Amino acid sequence: MSSTLPAKPLLLYFADERANAERIAQAGALNLMQIERHRFPDGELKLRLPEPLPQRVVLLRTLAQPNEKLLELLLVAQTARSLGAEHLTLLAPYLAYMRQDIAFKPGEAISQRIVGQFLATLFDAVITVDPHLHRVATLHEALPAGNTLVLSGAPLLSDLIAAHHGAALLVGPDEESAQWVAKAAERHGLEHAVCRKLRHGDRSVHIELPHCALAGRHAVLLDDVASTGHTLAEAAALLLAAGAVSVDVAVTHALFDSGALGLLGSAGVSQIWSTDCIEHSSNAVSMAASLAQAVALIEAAKPGQYQD
């Protein structure tokens, strides 16, 4: 497994993310090598990295279904350091555990703060796409690595939406989606509005539509992430009942569970589009070129230059 690698960034990846790794490597002319992964009968993992490593290494790991992957990051980062890597960048198109930024009840773990500090101890830089930040203004506040660079899927999703519906009405399913909806709308001068949401549980929500003209409109629900699809389904049904001609869904991170697409279809959603930050049948937009450009920026950056 030993090989002599040129002194340029190496993109490491796991087998389940090979397709995305190849797209990013091709877009950025990066060297690409796979991490060997073995699971023992008792569930423990054994990882093997290529060696020797160059001084600068980029690790691609999308943190959907994150719990075991966080252990992988610990094992990879410390092993990479021991093999000669001096600068480690985590390329995490989806970054988990960013939602809970305060303790809503006494005794709750503030997962954003804990996971953010953990990653900051392992990596010199972190690149991600549309992290779910609410009461925190920048990723660097939650994850104080040397450099943090945040991209957004909203502009590329906006391009796709505009190509299908030149005068679409972009609708955010809740107040937290407002930042992404506004960004997407601005790119093509689209009208946009935001619903109000009252959540009763993971699968129980109440939606109030925005006060704007809906009859005869092609509406597109846009958000950073979707999992069960319940919020989007209720919003879609209400939009159609209010006279919308069609309702499509566009999300950066397709965390959809097994019943989500059926639920959205039953609610009357026509098209479902997502970026390839998380591999899914709805992927319609590739972030590979943007991610490769971000890697190039980080590789040329001084410590602390990017603190998005």
Long-range contact pairs involving 189-192 (C-beta distance under 8 Å, separation at least 24): 190/158, 190/161, 190/162, 191/167
DSSP at 304: T
How far apart CA 172 and CA 193 sit, in angstroms, is 6
Whether 99 contacts 132, CB under 8 Å: yes
How far apart CA 79 and CA 73 sit, in angstroms, is 10
197 is catalytic: yes
Whether 299 contacts 56, CB under 8 Å: yes
Of 46, 105, 197, 302, the active-site residue reads 197
Give the Å distances, CA to CA, from 259 to 74, 217, 266: 33, 27, 11
Tally of CB atoms within 10 A around 243:
12
How far apart CA 215 and CA 131 sit, in angstroms, is 33
Amino acid at 170: L
How far apart CA 188 and CA 172 sit, in angstroms, is 16
Residue 167 tokens read as 């005068």
Catalytic residues, by residue number, are: 197
